[in-house]
Homo-oligomer: A and B are copies of this chain.
Amino acid sequence: MLPVIGISLGDPGGIGPEITLKALKQNLADQSYIPVIFGSESIIHHSSLKSLTDHFDFKFSLPDQKSYAGKKNEVYFIDSYPSLNKDYLTCKPDKTNGKAAYSFIQNGIKYAQNNKISALVTAPVCKESFKLSSIPYTGHTTMLTELTKSRKTSMAFYTSNLKTVLVTVHKPLSQVPALLTKENLSTAVENSFLFASLLGIKKPKIAISGLNPHAGENGMFGTEEQTIIVPFIQELAKKNIIVEGPFPPDTIYYKAYHGSFDIIISLYHDQGLIPVKLLAFDSAVNVTLGLPFIRTSPDHGTAFDIACKDKASPESIIAAIDLAINFSANQHKK
């Protein structure tokens, strides 16, 4: 039985619909999942997407589980915002598109929580569209965390040679030192072990980065390593939870890339994202850990500048779908 992967189309005016359809087209050749799309039917009828939609036979309701995918070209499509006009605005932030994108996600969450899909892959949303429609979120991670009433989620990134879990995300750098609390560090550690388990790694080597240059160089260049991170790691060790570090930030990613560690805990956004983007700009996958279901997404935005021009590469969303498939398989094994 193939995994059933939900995909929310994201902002209708961005590249989300196009890259999703391109990914579905690739799945035609060597089917590895059953797709369930959360979108508006009008998107299928948009002129810019015709050459892609022609490949599929859209089914507008889910069958019972046993009769999934009678034919390879069947795509299940849940119309989650029927009032979107087929001449919807593209290539820029828009109030209606914001509402539509939000409905796609709400529906995706509902289906995931009812176990009708194995995982939810989310195409890019636009924070300006959300703002125009008074939706109080700037991105997926916070939105999914709040809508599912989850308490301990982490943003994480997957590339073939580097996996990282962030302790803090969209916070001013000046606030980062104070946010390195035991609670926040614990969440990142728990989610790192969850990440490893979803990746099928049985005895993961998990390491935490330092905050300061050379990880503080014995306190000469900063003390958070000595006062917070080392005691935290020691306390974990007493419970047989092994996390190595803190290591100098400027070498830990190099070492992970070359195989010394499976997962790196990054203390702040750019500490983790600089190496991720450098190593896998087009294929990095954004993962939310700690939700009641699996969620992955491409690590790029709506790219309005190239929307509707058949220029967008599906590489990152294909990577996100592949990872969701792998996670589903490993979760099933547990």
The list of the 3 closest CB pairs from A to B, nearest first, reads A172-B222, A250-B273, A213-B269
Binding site for B on A (CB under 8 A): 138, 169-174, 176-177, 211-214, 216-217, 220-224, 249-251, 253-254, 257, 268-271, 273-279, 281
Beta-carbon contact of B270 and A250 below 8 Å: yes
Beta-carbon contact of A170 and B211 below 8 Å: no
Copy total for this chain: 2
Beta-carbon contact of B269 and A271 below 8 Å: no
Known: A271-B270, A274-B249, A278-B275. A177 touches B173 (CB 8 A): yes
Q: 23 pairs across A/B with beta carbons < 8 Å? A: A169-B213, A170-B217, A172-B216, A172-B221, A172-B223, A173-B176, A173-B212, A173-B222, A173-B224, A174-B177, A213-B269, A250-B269, A250-B270, A250-B276, A253-B277, A253-B278, A254-B278, A254-B281, A257-B278, A270-B271, A274-B275, A275-B275, A278-B279
Once the chains are docked, how many angstroms separate the CA of A249 from the CA of B274?
7
Once the chains are docked, how many angstroms separate the CA of A174 from the CA of B169?
17
A contacts with B: majority SS: helix
- Distance between A210 CB and nearest chain B CB, rounded to angstroms: 9
Q: Which of B214, B270, B275 contacts A170 (CB 8 A)?
A: B214
Q: Which of B170, B173, B214 contacts A220 (CB 8 A)?
A: B170
- Chain B residues closer than 8 Å to A176, beta-carbon distance: 173
A169's nearest neighbour on chain B, judged by CB, is B213
Once the chains are docked, how many angstroms separate the CA of A138 from the CA of B257?
29
- Chain B residues closer than 8 Å to A223, beta-carbon distance: 172
Beta-carbon contact of A173 and B173 below 8 Å: yes
Beta-carbon contact of A171 and B213 below 8 Å: yes
Greatest chain B CB density within 10 A among A169, A170, A270 is at A270
A258's nearest neighbour on chain B, judged by CB, is B281
- Chain B residues closer than 8 Å to A224, beta-carbon distance: 172-174
Once the chains are docked, how many angstroms separate the CA of A220 from the CA of B275?
23
- Distance between A212 CB and nearest chain B CB, rounded to angstroms: 5
Known: A249-B270, A269-B250. A222 touches B174 (CB 8 A): yes
- Distance between A330 CB and nearest chain B CB, rounded to angstroms: 28
- Chain B residues closer than 8 Å to A277, beta-carbon distance: 250-251, 253-254
